[in-house]
């Protein structure tokens, strides 16, 4: 029991001795700590104050809940429930705002935003020329790096934020995202409406043939049974009612398909915006970055901790390693250093010979 207590006490004393040694070394090397801290402060201040300001402009959109295509899609889905096309023309997917967020990152939208001409420093140029990038892949990566798309799961609002060194350029790019997304959404809706219209045209032709067939069957039945209205036969009466109900149902279905076809054709030709724009981006007057004061303070504290860490590392090296271990480490360092230098000399020797021969 006493031995354990003595071990604990010896360990605590050793830790205190190490701490005293560390504090004494920090006092002795305080000039080094001061130099590293001041150098970090000066370099960070110079670098951050030379960094140009950045401005972020944001635009907000929300999927339209009163889109007329939604009513058409819902009506078609109710008629064509269970068919493969019902998934195509469904009014909304799981989250339309998620779809918009993904469309904003799609290649057609990005390429259109990149190719649009913006007014930069009183000159019109696209983003390829402004960033001096010719490759489309690198240009898209650059555009995505300055763009932030956030989707609010509760409200469905999609926020498009663009950051650049020009306030007006940030606002123009953000608004161009909105315009190109709306144009791309219109093209998608027209394509879907065209596919629906084509399907409905085929279905309408089939339904018209079916109506003609049931009407012909009804007329044939009436021609054979001219006195059906005077007949007291229950079976004949039931057959007449079934024929009339079938003809009425097929005619109603034909009219419904005609209405859907007309709505689909109107949707395909419609030029109205598909997006509900909550607010367009405006040129910001307050910079979004860099945060110079906070960054300078953090970097200065980091430099101070780095200097103290160097001293702690040296004290730990002396404290925890014996003289023999330190001697072996130094010898190994010298051996490895000699090996590296010899390899470097062998690599340089052919080049030095060739250069001498040229002279």
The rounded percent of the chain whose pLDDT value lies above 90 is 29
Question: Given this model, what pLDDT does residue 114 score?
Answer: 94
SS (H, E, C) the chain: CHHHHHHHHHHHHHHHHHHHHHHHHHHHCHHHHHHHHHHHHHHHHHHHHHCCCEEEEEEEEEECCCCHHHHHHHHHHHHCCCCHHHHHCCCCCCCHHHHHHHHCCCHHHHHHHHHCCEEECCEEECHHHHHCCCCHHHHHHHHHHCEEEEECCCCCCEEEEEEECCHHHHHHHHHHHHHHHHHHHHHHHHHHHHHHHHHHHHHHHHHHHHHHHHHHHHHHHHHHCCCCCCCCCHHHHHHHHHHHHHHHHHHHHHHHHHHHHHHHHHHHHCCCCCEEEEECCCCCCCCCECCHHHHHHHHHHHHHHHHHHHHHHHHHHHHHCCHHHHHHHHHHHHHHHHHHHHHHHHHHHHHHHHHHHHC
Question: Given this model, what pLDDT does residue 9 score?
Answer: 56
| Mean pLDDT of all residues in 73-97 | 47
Question: Given this model, what pLDDT does residue 119 score?
Answer: 85
Cα gap 110→176, rounded to integer Å: 10
Residue 144: pLDDT above 50? yes
Radius of gyration of the chain (CA): 40
How much is the mean pLDDT over the chain?
80
Centre a 10 Å sphere on the Cβ of residue 164 and count the other Cβ atoms it contains.
23
The more confidently predicted of residues 222 and 34 is: 34
Question: Given this model, what pLDDT does residue 11 score?
Answer: 61
58 and 174 in contact (C-beta within 8 Å)?
yes
Question: Given this model, what pLDDT does residue 345 score?
Answer: 79
Bond prior to 290 in cis (omega within 30° of 0): yes
Question: Given this model, what pLDDT does residue 351 score?
Answer: 59
pLDDT digits (tens, 9 = 90+) for 151-171: 888 888 899 999 999 999 999
pLDDT bin (cut points 50, 70, 90) of residue 261 is confident
Look up the pTM and report it. 0.60
pLDDT bin (cut points 50, 70, 90) of residue 85 is very low
pLDDT bin (cut points 50, 70, 90) of residue 57 is very high
Q: Which range, 84-93, 97-106, 262-271, is most confident? A: 97-106
pLDDT bin (cut points 50, 70, 90) of residue 69 is very low
Residue 177: pLDDT above 50? yes
Question: Given this model, what pLDDT does residue 5 score?
Answer: 46
Question: Given this model, what pLDDT does residue 89 score?
Answer: 38
Residue 135: pLDDT above 50? yes
Domain-wise residue ranges, the chain: 2-51+291-342, 55-279
The more confidently predicted of residues 334 and 189 is: 334
CATH no., domain 55-279? 3.30.1890
Beta bridge pairs of residue 63: 275
The more confidently predicted of residues 147 and 79 is: 147
321 and 329 in contact (C-beta within 8 Å)?
yes
């Amino acid at each position: 029991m006493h031995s354990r207590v003595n071990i604990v006490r010896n360990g605590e004393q050793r830790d205190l001795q190490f701490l005293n040694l560390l504090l004494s070394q920090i006092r002795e090397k305080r000039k080094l700590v001061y130099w590293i801290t001041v150098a970090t402060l000066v370099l960070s201040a110079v670098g951050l104050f030379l960094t140009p300001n950045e401005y972020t402009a944001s635009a907000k959109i929300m999927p339209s809940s009163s889109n007329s295509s939604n009513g058409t899609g819902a009506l078609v889905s109710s008629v064509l429930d269970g068919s493969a096309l019902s998934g195509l023309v469904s009014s909304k997917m799981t989250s339309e705002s998620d779809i918009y967020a993904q469309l904003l990152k799609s290649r057609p939208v990005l390429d259109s935003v990149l190719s649009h001409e913006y007014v930069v420093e009183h000159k019109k140029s696209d983003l390829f020329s402004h960033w001096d990038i010719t490759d489309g892949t690198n240009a898209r990566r650059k555009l995505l790096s300055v763009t932030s798309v956030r989707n609010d799961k509760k409200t469905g609002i999609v926020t498009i934020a663009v950051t650049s060194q020009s306030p007006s350029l940030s606002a123009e790019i953000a608004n161009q995202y909105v315009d190109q997304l709306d144009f791309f959404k219109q093209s998608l809706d027209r394509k879907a409406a065209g596919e629906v219209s084509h399907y409905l045209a085929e279905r309408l032709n089939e339904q018209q043939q079916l109506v003609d067939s049931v009407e012909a069957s009804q007329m044939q039945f009436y021609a054979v049974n001219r006195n059906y209205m005077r007949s007291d036969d229950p079976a004949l009466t039931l057959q007449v009612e079934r024929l009339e109900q079938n003809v009425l149902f097929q005619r109603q279905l034909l009219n419904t398909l005609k209405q859907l076809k007309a709505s689909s054709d109107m949707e395909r030709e419609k030029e109205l915006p598909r997006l509900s724009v909550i607010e367009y981006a405006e040129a910001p007057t307050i910079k979004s970055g860099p945060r110079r004061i906070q960054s300078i303070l953090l970097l200065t504290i980091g430099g101070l901790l780095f200097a103290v860490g160097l001293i702690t590392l040296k004290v730990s090296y002396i404290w925890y390693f014996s003289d023999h271990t330190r001697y072996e480490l130094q010898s190994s360092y010298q051996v490895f250093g000699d090996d590296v230098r010899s390899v470097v000399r062998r690599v340089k020797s052919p080049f030095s010979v060739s250069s001498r021969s040229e002279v």
